[in-house]
Chains A and B, each alone.
Chain A
Amino acid sequence: MTDQTPPLTCDEIRDLAAPFVLGALADGEAEAVRAHIASCPELHAELVDFASVLPILAASAPVLEPPAGLKVRLLAAAAADLAQAPIVPAAQIAFPSASEREERRARRFSSPGTWLLRIAAVLAIGLLGGWNVLLQGQLGEARTYEQSVASVLDTASQRGALAAILRPAEGHGAGLAAVAADGSVALAMRDLAPTAGSTVYEAWVIAGDGVPRPLGSFTVGTNGTAYFEAKGSPVEASLILVVTREPRAGAQTPSLPIVSSGTATTEG
């Protein structure tokens, strides 16, 4: 196996197609195959043909669910990418700096065990919507939202808390929610349609029994952001949080369609 493999012919590619697709070539050879197909006018359908089998091979692996914490780590790492994006200088980001948040956390918790707060902080920045809000100069809205998020983070950072990203069902109303071990709930949302008259948004929690329990209602002004706190949520390893729009406060069953929802889980 040499590192300097001479350019391969189409016949050689056909010969190497199966091991290439299976990842069984030494580096130099695999490189040479890639180099060939990058420039070869021929389609080399055999590669495509063999590769079509891979999903079946993959499906023969025993099915395993990844731990819940993996998603948070992934999203945090991705959000950290965004935070490093050169488009917006860090100085323009009105969000409390990581060190500020660390300090606050350190003051509250002696245990260094939870990284949720740090992660949620970058997540929250991402949730601002890829900086669009800031770029559009809607700093007021961004600040209000970010203060709300900071409050949710305080709840989420408590030991045994659950956190959820709330996703809009139809394009509007994203946010972040946390359920503390004592059943208190904090929820920050943006991009909601303003309420008028007796109309309210109602937050619901769905535990393992599948029954939606009302947590309380809130109104939304023209800036579209909301911060909401409630108590008395059931506490389970996984909860679904749902936001609906209701004609008036006090609804006992949610009206459809759902505005926004997410699954709250603890960190693995």
Chain B
Amino acid sequence: MSETPTPLRLRVATVTDDADRSVLIRVSNGELIALDELYERYKTMAYSIAYRITNDATLAEDVVQDAFLGAWRNAERYIEGRGSVKTWLLSIVHHRAIDAVRRRRPTIELPEFEAVPPPALRAPDVWSEVAASLDAVEVRAALGALSDVQREAIELAYFSGLTQQEIADRTGTPLGTVKSRMRLGLLAMRNVMTMNDGTSMSGPEAEPR
């Protein structure tokens, strides 16, 4: 949280991070009560995203249980990393939900997903806890920064579990275009976030286009 000009909110959020991490250390020691705590903190986030992706209550429950069990079993390995616990959990839930959705489609087979974040995502902690204090306005502003086609590409990937090639096929768009829609869309959202972080603590006047 030091060398680069980190947005204010990202620095504030490290308090949650520290608390999360100490819970995770207890989880790695096999304390069920700590797992209970971790679950209480993030069950809503986990279940909401799992349900959004699977659109199936039973499957979503399986995904969430699986994800937290993964966290329970891999907590020790995770602690060596320095990313935020929340984003780590989020990525586990997302991976498993996508995995479940893809398994449901008979044509595609997936191997086991790694329950450990890739090293580059673990390294610097500049993006932890962005959503910790997010409100609906900010979410809308960030999503509002997307053009329709960018939003379509991003949602088909993140929420529907389609690969970029499948998105290209489905939307009749060249693969390169799909790729750049994703890239530009993510950049646009990120810019809105940074703007809000830097300039408005009370009410974002950021105009969603």
List residues of chain A with CB under 8 Å of any chain B CB. Answer: 1, 15-19, 21-27, 33-34, 37-38, 40, 43-45, 47-67, 70-71, 73-75, 77-79, 81-82, 85, 123, 126-127, 129-130, 165, 167, 174
Contact = CB atoms under 8 A, between A and B. Distances in A.
A64 B51 contact: yes
A24 to B, nearest CB: 4
Given A70-B65, A71-B43, A78-B32, A53 B142 contact: yes
B189 A56 contact: yes
B36 A34 contact: no
Contact of A52 (B40, B68, B127, B138): B127
Contact of A73 (B33, B65, B127, B193): B65
A250 to B, nearest CB: 31
B23 interface: no
Interface string B122-144: 01101101110010001100110
Interface of B: 29-33, 35-36, 39-40, 43-49, 51-52, 57, 60-61, 64-65, 68-69, 72-73, 86-87, 90-91, 94-95, 98, 110-111, 114, 118-121, 123-124, 126-127, 129-131, 134, 138-139, 142-143, 154, 157-159, 161-165, 167, 178-179, 182-183, 185-187, 189-190, 193
Contacts of B30: 82, 85, 126, 130
B142 to A, nearest CB: 5
Contacts of B87: 51, 54-55
26 contacts: A1-B165, A22-B158, A23-B161, A24-B164, A37-B119, A38-B119, A48-B123, A52-B190, A54-B91, A54-B94, A55-B134, A56-B131, A60-B143, A61-B48, A61-B49, A61-B51, A66-B46, A66-B60, A70-B47, A70-B61, A71-B40, A71-B43, A74-B68, A130-B30, A167-B36, A174-B33
B179 A19 contact: yes
A43 B120 contact: yes
A33 B118 contact: yes
Given A24-B164, A167-B33, A66 B121 contact: no
Nearest to B40: A71
A62 B51 CA distance: 9
A53 B163 contact: no
Given A22-B157, A64-B51, A48 B121 contact: yes
Nearest to A65: B44
A127 B33 CA distance: 8
Contacts of B52: 61-62
A71 B190 contact: no
Which of A18, A25, A47 has most chain B Cβ within 10 Å?
A18
A66 B94 contact: no
A37 B51 contact: no
A98 B29 CA distance: 24
Contacts of A53: 130, 142, 186, 189-190, 193
A9 to B, nearest CB: 15
Nearest to B32: A126
Nearest to A13: B120
Contacts of B185: 18
Contact of A63 (B33, B40, B44): B44
A54 B90 contact: yes
A59 B68 contact: no
B111 A27 contact: yes
A45 B190 CA distance: 13
A49 B118 contact: no
A45 B87 CA distance: 16
A77 B139 CA distance: 35
B135 to A, nearest CB: 9
Which of B118, B129, B167 has most chain A Cβ within 10 Å?
B118
A52 B72 contact: no
Nearest to A15: B179
A142 to B, nearest CB: 16
